[in-house]
Amino acid sequence: MGETFQYWRREIETMPRAELLALQLEKLKMAVGWALRTPFYAERLPRAGINSADDIKTLADLRRIPFTTKQDLRGAFPYGFLGVPREDVVRLHASSGTTGTPTTIYFNRADLSRWSGYVARSIYGTGCTKNDVFQNMITYGLFTGGLGFHAGGEEVGMLVIPSGAGNTARQFRFMQDFGTTVVHATPSFLLHVESIMRAEGVSRESLRLRKAFAGAEPYSEDTRRRIEKLLNIDVYNSYGLSEMNGPGVAFECQAKDGLHLWEDGYIGEIINPDTLDPLDGGESGELVLTCLCREATPILRYRTRDLSGFYTEPCSCGRTHRRLRRITARTDDMLIINGVNLFPSQIEEVIMSMREAGNNYLIVVEKEGMLDRLTVKTEIQAEFFTDDTRPLNALKEKIRKTLQASITINPRVELHESGSLPVSEGKARRVQDLRPKDV
């Protein structure tokens, strides 16, 4: 690495914890005040004995606020969470519908400016400056990753190319013509960039690429390393969700060891998703977030369904904002296969750690008689793909055994040629659960 750490807002990013918590309390009161102006919280908070911002006296009072869920947001669609006059709203975004129907979030001008500040802080913290050329290779539109990173990149002063997702031939033209140094994309897409480059005849030397921001979906440390090696770049994990504005909620710094949650903008808690009890000792559980920086759609104690936990030791970069562990799964993407719990990320970890395995895979679950049947379809690196069935069968068996040892389920394994499994432009869809719904 060898780079020195740089801070966008040093006094806030390295603020002593006690001061940071005092700032959080002040902002929490403000957020509760904003929330009480929305139809939803105007009803919900008084039932919990919170009638005004002054009822929040310490940060511990946060726990008196009931959780807000995705169902609450859906149930209050379209304006139940709106806390400002409609004519003061200047933008709306929607969740990309990782699961179920989308929910909408509204911003006033001040909200947009606060949000881009957190994204700028995140981008700058990875070592980018105004000298960088940033190609935002992610979907623009209702999804927050496009406009969110766009505004943050401009605030840093980078040259921002709003290339959007797709049209890979044109993406490489842009990279060559404008000397792109940084890109933002999903990790599943970045895994494909090198093979697309080869197919398009683009040499790595013709590009000035040095960094990528990868997020919007879970990926493992091995996947990060794979992308870094394939493209010879630095990859930074970017976490966000539309309910908390979008990108810029938590981001890796140059130490690349956990994602700093910007605690002057968001309060993070970890809970046991079954009992809803707080987990305060650094354990893993469901991440609950309170947004302190959006007036038009205040959201308090939102159950993200993302599984993570806080590191307890301080980061070598000097920032005092706590770091979240890489988010590997959501409570709602767990599969139950013949009674055994399985997160898709467990399969990814095995696939990405095997050098023979390619950069794409698919998980299929079917019903066979009374039993569930798990099939893992994985691409194979070109050098291992032959017409000779013997080595292929041996490799298949090796992958099957490695998977079984790790997930305790015996999967069927199918090998596929590199580049043959479907690639999505947005978030990867890697699980096909074909079991009848009500069985």
- State the residues that interact with ligand AMP by CB under 6 A: 95-96, 98, 144, 215-218, 237-242, 304, 306, 327, 330
Complex with ligand AMP: residue 20 or 250, whichever CB lies closer: 250
Residue 253 interface partner, choices Zn ion, ligand AMP, none, CB cut-off 5-8 Å depending on type: Zn ion
Q: d(Cα 337, Cα 353) in Å, to the nearest integer?
A: 23
How many residues of this chain interact with Zn ion, rule: CB under 5 A? 5
**At closest approach, how far in Å is the CB of 303 from ligand AMP?**
10
**Cis amide linkage into residue 411, ω under 30° from 0:** no
Residue 255 interface partner, choices Zn ion, ligand AMP, none, CB cut-off 5-8 Å depending on type: Zn ion
Tell me how far the alpha carbon of residue 6 is from its chain's centroid: 23
**At closest approach, how far in Å is the CB of 298 from ligand AMP?**
17
Q: d(Cα 187, Cα 286) in Å, to the nearest integer?
A: 22
**At closest approach, how far in Å is the CB of 187 from ligand AMP?**
8
Tell how strand 182-185 and strand 211-215 pair up.
Answer: parallel
261: left (phi over 0), alpha (psi -120 to 50) or beta: beta
First vs last Cα of the chain: how many Å apart? 52
Residue 239 interface partner, choices Zn ion, ligand AMP, none, CB cut-off 5-8 Å depending on type: ligand AMP
- Taking CB under 5 A as the binding criterion, the range among 225-233, 290-298, 311-319, 379-387 that sits at the site for Zn ion is 311-319
Helix (H, G, I), strand (E, B) or coil at 400: helix
> Contact letters (x/-) for Zn ion, 162-201, by CB under 5 A?
----------------------------------------
Complex with ligand AMP: residue 8 or 213, whichever CB lies closer: 213
Name the token pair of 344.
């898709």
Complex with ligand AMP: residue 75 or 85, whichever CB lies closer: 75
| Residue 412: strand pairing partners | 375
Complex with ligand AMP: residue 168 or 186, whichever CB lies closer: 186
Give the length of the chain: 439
Q: Which run of H or E residues covers position 249?
A: strand 246-252
User: Tokens 């990814």 — which residue?
Assistant: 348
> Contact letters (x/-) for Zn ion, 245-284, by CB under 5 A?
--------x-x-----------------------------
Residue 241 interface partner, choices Zn ion, ligand AMP, none, CB cut-off 5-8 Å depending on type: ligand AMP
Contact 236, 214 (CB under 8 A): yes
**At closest approach, how far in Å is the CB of 425 from ligand AMP?**
14
Burial label, 169 (beta-carbon count in 10 A; 0-12, 13-18, 19+): exposed
Complex with ligand AMP: residue 241 or 292, whichever CB lies closer: 241
State which of residues 128, 270, 289, 315 lies at the interface with Zn ion (CB under 5 A).
315
Total Cβ atoms within 10 A of residue 420: 12
State which of residues 65, 147, 300, 317 lies at the interface with Zn ion (CB under 5 A).
317
**At closest approach, how far in Å is the CB of 319 from Zn ion?**
5
Complex with ligand AMP: residue 28 or 327, whichever CB lies closer: 327
324 makes contact with Zn ion (CB under 5 A): no
Greatest Cα-to-Cα distance within the chain, rounded to the nearest angstrom: 74
**Identity of the residue numbered 251:** F
Name the token pair of 222.
């091995």
Contact 184, 212 (CB under 8 A): yes
Complex with ligand AMP: residue 323 or 330, whichever CB lies closer: 330
**At closest approach, how far in Å is the CB of 124 from Zn ion?**
13
Q: d(Cα 72, Cα 39) in Å, to the nearest integer?
A: 12
Complex with ligand AMP: residue 330 or 373, whichever CB lies closer: 330
Complex with ligand AMP: residue 45 or 254, whichever CB lies closer: 254
Q: d(Cα 38, Cα 299) in Å, to the nearest integer?
A: 10
Q: Which run of H or E residues covers position 271?
A: strand 266-271
**At closest approach, how far in Å is the CB of 165 from ligand AMP?**
14
Dihedral sign for Cα 17, 122, 127, 195, please: positive
Contact 123, 152 (CB under 8 A): yes
Residue 357 interface partner, choices ligand AMP, Zn ion, none, CB cut-off 5-8 Å depending on type: none
**At closest approach, how far in Å is the CB of 321 from Zn ion?**
8
**At closest approach, how far in Å is the CB of 237 from ligand AMP?**
5
Complex with ligand AMP: residue 101 or 420, whichever CB lies closer: 101
Complex with Zn ion: residue 165 or 315, whichever CB lies closer: 315
**CA-closest candidate to residue 25, choices 277, 296, 290:** 290
Residue 238 interface partner, choices Zn ion, ligand AMP, none, CB cut-off 5-8 Å depending on type: ligand AMP
**Which residues in this chain contact Zn ion in the complex, by CB under 5 A?**
253, 255, 315, 317, 319
